[in-house]
Amino acid sequence: MSKHLCKIQTLFACISALVCCLSTLVSANNLKIENLQLLDQECLQFDISWDNAWNLSNTNTPNNFDAVWIFAKIKINHQDWTHLKVSDKPQDYQISSNQVNVQTNKDQRGFMLTTNLEGVGNISKTSIQFKLNTSLDKEQNINIRLFGIEMVYIPEGAFYLGDETAQNTMSSFDEGMPYLMESEAAFELNTTEGLLVPSRISMPSPRTVPSDYPKGYQAFYCMKYEITQAQYTDFLNTLNATQQSQRVAANIYAPVETPAMGEGYRNGIVIQSSAEWGRAAQFACNLNKDAILENSDDGQNIACNFLNGADVLAYLDWAALRPMTELEFEKLCRGPIYPKPKEFAWGTAQVSNTTQLLNGGTANEIVTDSISLESGLCNYNYSPIQGPLRVGFAATPHSDRLQSGSTFYGIMEMSGNLWEYCIDLSEEGLIFDGSNGDGCVSSEGNANETSWPLDNSTGVIVRGGGWNSGDFDIFRDAAISDRFYFQNPNDQRRNTTGGRGIIKID
């Protein structure tokens, strides 16, 4: 097959043996994946760049760096999209710049591009050439889509759970003090020697948290941002009609421009072309509700709300990532620092709320609010903006942790914006063994990993609060350790719920 320059759509590059064109790709940190080429029957090449990268792995804290998870989907002739496996041998990758390194994964579902900077900077256009684990037939009609998701590396280390005062907080039995998690070994739950966690039943039941259940001590990667509306649209557009019908709220046979996930509250995903017999629907973003889809102000980079637990699990399985546990959630937020009462993800108990929107729906969407002393900026506390904001809306090349509202490790919007789904410590949640997704969903459109929760009403919990959450003396939803909704099922698509995933590279 000859080389082709091919179409780039939001958060993915697309190559086709028959149809080719070129455009650009923009996301929260100007991530661009361009110029995808099929060099031969088993080798692909593309260019990548992104802004505001960092590598602080030579510092004592936070001792981490950012990265991009790369994975691909393939469609042959008129078959369904499937996951395209790549080589797990580092020698099968060629990189044109010393700014970027590659980390392969044994399951061959994708690879991680890590930064080789010292400090903070931009990754200039870098060519990546890599081999597939299969040889493609040049006589077939082949369509390949390449996806990139910005990630953050979380180093191995101990951390604390609970903050003594948050609603339904975790704690040790030692006068309700924070619990030190210092290994991945099995431990006792709700006993006098273990972690106390309020249970769904009236009397907490003793149980063991098995060694396979991820506790947050080991190193892993986490999505830098919540799932965006562009990312969720990309996901929907690689599903067949049966699968799509489970992952949207609308009837996929409804007219063009019907809202797909929910009406209003800054969700702009619509039906671009209706499903027909034997053909899936296509989805696009149209936040401004004009006659042209995928405009620059159509909200592609706004966090995707109206997701239920099953939606998030299916997306993560498709992306070959996995859900986080609620233990990992707390580490992601506070790092190794001893907890402060009712603290937020930026490490203080003070918050400045977002009220004034500028450049709404664009890749440059921001708020003009400033922060008060020791406060972090957060889309929270019944925000008058009435919906989620662009992921990373408060981060700039010069913002600090409070100004950007980021966690100890540089992850954005872990407090506020949208509630995030985590695997809980219930009996249903404890079957989770941390397995990564396989890149595929079931024929019905659900996650198909056997250790993941079987449905979206048990085994998962929402953490971190959302734009329409409250901040009161008794409880504050966006606090790191608050577990106010630990008893609630999570099978509803709410205008305040979204999510993100993590991955452990082997």
pLDDT confidence of 236, banded at 50, 70, 90? Answer: very high
Are residue 213 and residue 70 in the same domain, yes or no? no
Are residue 244 and residue 172 in the same domain, yes or no? no
Highest mean predicted confidence (pLDDT) among 11-20, 226-235, 395-404, 450-459? 226-235
Are residue 356 and residue 452 in the same domain, yes or no? yes
142-157 residues labelled b (16+ CB within 10 A) or e (exposed):
bbbbbbbbbbbbbbee
Distance CA 184, CA 89 (A): 28
Question: Does position 8 have pLDDT exceeding 70, yes or no?
Answer: no
Q: What is the pLDDT of residue 486?
A: 82
Are residue 465 and residue 333 in the same domain, yes or no? yes
- Extract the tokens encoding 346: 């930026």
What SS3 class is residue 404?
A: helix
Pairing of strands 460-463, 419-423: antiparallel
| Structure confidence by residue, pLDDT tens digits, 122-146 | 999 999 999 999 999 877 899 999 9
For residue 256, what are the domain limits?
229-300
Of 132, 152, 172, the residue at which a domain comes to its end is 152
**Domain total of the chain:** 3
Which stretch of DSSP H or E encloses residue 498?
strand 497-498
Are residue 165 and residue 19 in the same domain, yes or no? no
| Structure confidence by residue, pLDDT tens digits, 422-469 | 999 988 999 999 999 999 999 999 999 999 987 767 899 999 999 999
Are residue 194 and residue 243 in the same domain, yes or no? no
Looking at the domain assignment, is residue 187 inside a domain? yes
Are residue 200 and residue 148 in the same domain, yes or no? no
Question: Does position 18 have pLDDT exceeding 70, yes or no?
Answer: no
Looking at the domain assignment, is residue 61 inside a domain? yes
- Among residues 159, 131, 157, 4, the alpha carbon closest in space to that of 72 is found at 131
Q: Which residue has the higher pLDDT, 270 or 484?
A: 270
Q: CB-based contacts of 473: which residues, under 8 Å, 6+ apart?
A: none
Are residue 137 and residue 218 in the same domain, yes or no? no
The CATH number that applies at residue 188 is 3.90.1580
Number of residues in the chain: 506
Question: Does position 17 have pLDDT exceeding 80, yes or no?
Answer: no
Are residue 288 and residue 326 in the same domain, yes or no? no
Looking at the domain assignment, is residue 1 inside a domain? no
Looking at the domain assignment, is residue 3 inside a domain? no
Are residue 456 and residue 334 in the same domain, yes or no? yes
pTM over 0.85: yes
Are residue 175 and residue 99 in the same domain, yes or no? no
Of 283, 300, 317, the residue at which a domain comes to its end is 300
Of 109, 134, 152, the residue at which a domain comes to its end is 152
The answer to whether residues 215 and 332 touch, using CB atoms and an 8 Å cutoff, is no
Distances (CA, A) of 385 to 44, 154, 178, 355, 396: 43, 32, 35, 6, 21
Are residue 88 and residue 73 in the same domain, yes or no? yes
The answer to whether residues 112 and 70 touch, using CB atoms and an 8 Å cutoff, is yes
Question: Does position 5 have pLDDT exceeding 90, yes or no?
Answer: no
| Structure confidence by residue, pLDDT tens digits, 332-391 | 999 999 999 999 999 999 999 999 999 999 999 999 999 999 999 999 999 999 999 999
Looking at the domain assignment, is residue 236 inside a domain? yes
State what percent of residues in the chain have pLDDT above 90.
Answer: 80
